[in-house]
Amino acid sequence: MKRILLTVGSIVLLSGCGIGENSDQSEKKNETVQEENQNSTEKQQNQTEQNHKPQEEKKGEANEDKLTLEAAYFNKIAEVDGKKVIQNPENILVLVNKEYGLPDGYAPADLVRPNVAFSFGDQDIEKSYMRKEAAMALEKMFTEAANHNLQLYAVSGYRSYERQVEVFNNEVQNVGREQAVQVVAVPGNSEHQTGLSMDISSASANSALSEQFGETPEGKWLVENAHKFGFILRYPKGKEAITGYQYESWHFRYVGVESASGIYENGLTLEEYFHVVEKI
Ligand SMILES: [Zn+2]
């Protein structure tokens, strides 16, 4: 039997945004990672599916899957002007958050427009793009949803550094900097700049990006099935202190099937995932 306990306390500090640093999460600081039985790193998809339980039931429980990940998938960070800047931004598992940012002006080289339904129709605009691998996975996911009579809409994918500057400055003008940083990512710190994220909604939610989407059949199906296509719900409810963001029922991030499954089966966030995987 393998046991992995989460070092949640140290993750809370990662967000560095002031949200939740006084929350009860920090009391878990002294929990340590324990590994027993170093064999059997392999997981079987159907076995892990059977093991899945709702997140509420898993809190405090030891996980049974041993998660491993090649060191190349970890962020490589350099300190630039006091900011932590990611040096391997094309890493498919790149961890972008309020602490770790992308290089100024970084744009992925392989952006394509996935062949899916968009909330804004056929317009060929920046936010319809994703990196190729993510776009192909998104197409498969939307097709499978349609097979279940669920009509998903892609709403917002890639966002350039320059566009994020505009969005952020607009928000600062409207509500001031202090409030703006709570809801809009600082340029360089938006996951949308990776080309690996897509905001998704549905006709039943009027294509809105709101918590209500999470209550629709489409939103519920995505939460339970996105990992099969390599996507995770990036900002889950109850993990705000760890991700640094409010619950976003619509924001899905591509990380590949293996990592998405490990994250889903163990009720983790991407931040927590990097604390429990073992480098190989
Ligand atoms: Zn988003």
C-alpha 152/C-alpha 54 separation (Å) is 24
Query: How far is ligand 1, taken at its centre, from the CA of residue 145, in Å?
Result: 20
In a domain, 2, yes or no: no
The Å distance, Cα 114 to ligand 1 centre, comes to 17
Length of the chain: 280
Within a domain: 1: no
Which secondary-structure segment (H or E) carries 241? helix 240-243
What 3-state DSSP class applies to 150? coil
Residue 92 included in any domain? yes
* Residue 39 CA to ligand 1 centre (angstroms): 38
- Residue 212 maps to a domain: yes
Q: Using CA atoms, how far apart are residues 147 and 141, in angstroms rounded to an integer?
A: 10
Centroid of ligand 1 to alpha carbon of 174 (angstroms): 20
Q: What's the angle, vertex CA 81, arms to CA 76 and CA 85, rounded to 5?
A: 20
Contact 156, 201 (CB under 8 A): no
User: What string of pLDDT tens digits covers the 280 residues of the chain?
Assistant: 333 433 333 332 222 222 222 333 333 333 333 332 333 333 333 344 344 444 444 444 445 568 899 999 999 999 999 999 999 999 999 999 999 999 988 999 999 999 999 999 999 999 999 999 999 999 999 999 999 999 999 999 999 999 999 999 999 999 999 998 878 889 999 999 999 999 999 999 999 999 999 999 999 999 999 999 999 999 999 999 999 999 999 999 999 999 999 999 999 999 999 999 988 8
For 121, residues 6+ apart whose C-beta sits below 8 A from its C-beta are none
Q: Give the Å distance between the CA of 83 and the centre of ligand 1.
A: 22
3-state DSSP assignment of residue 29 = helix
* 45-51-53 Cα angle (round to 5): 125
What backbone torsions phi and psi does residue 198 show, to the nearest 5 degrees?
-140, 130
Q: Are strands 197-202 and 152-156 parallel, antiparallel or unpaired?
A: antiparallel
Rounded Cα distance, 8 and 30, in Å? 9
Q: Give the start-end residues of each E strand in the chain.
A: 68-69, 77-80, 83-86, 100-101, 111-112, 130-131, 152-156, 197-202, 231-235, 248-254, 278-279
The CA distance from 154 to 127, in Å, is 9
Residue 213 placed within a domain: yes
Instruction: Compute the distance from residue 198 Cα to the ligand 1 centre, in Å.
Output: 6
Centre of ligand 1 from the C-alpha of residue 191, in Å? 7
Q: Which residues constitute the domain of residue 42? A: 8-279
User: Rounded distance, CA 273 to CA 263, Å?
Assistant: 6
Q: Is residue 130 part of a domain?
A: yes
Residues 111, 237: Cα–Cα separation, whole Å: 30
Cα 66 to Cα 37, 49, 84: the distances in Å are 9, 15, 29
> Residue type for 115, please?
N
Predicted confidence at residue 63, as pLDDT, reads 52
Identify the pLDDT of residue 66. 82
Asked whether residue 100 is domain-assigned, the answer is yes
| Domain of residue 230, CATH code | 3.30.1380.10
CB atoms within 10 A of CB 29: 14
The CA 33 to ligand 1 mean position distance, Å, reads 31
Residue 3 covered by a domain? no
Helix (H, G, I), strand (E, B) or coil at 119: coil
125/104 Cα distance (integer angstroms) = 21
Ligand 1 centroid – CA 77 distance (Å):
23
Cβ contacts of 61 within 8 Å, gap of 6 or more: none
How many structural domains comprise the chain? 1
Q: How far is the CA of 69 from the centre of ligand 1 (A)?
A: 25
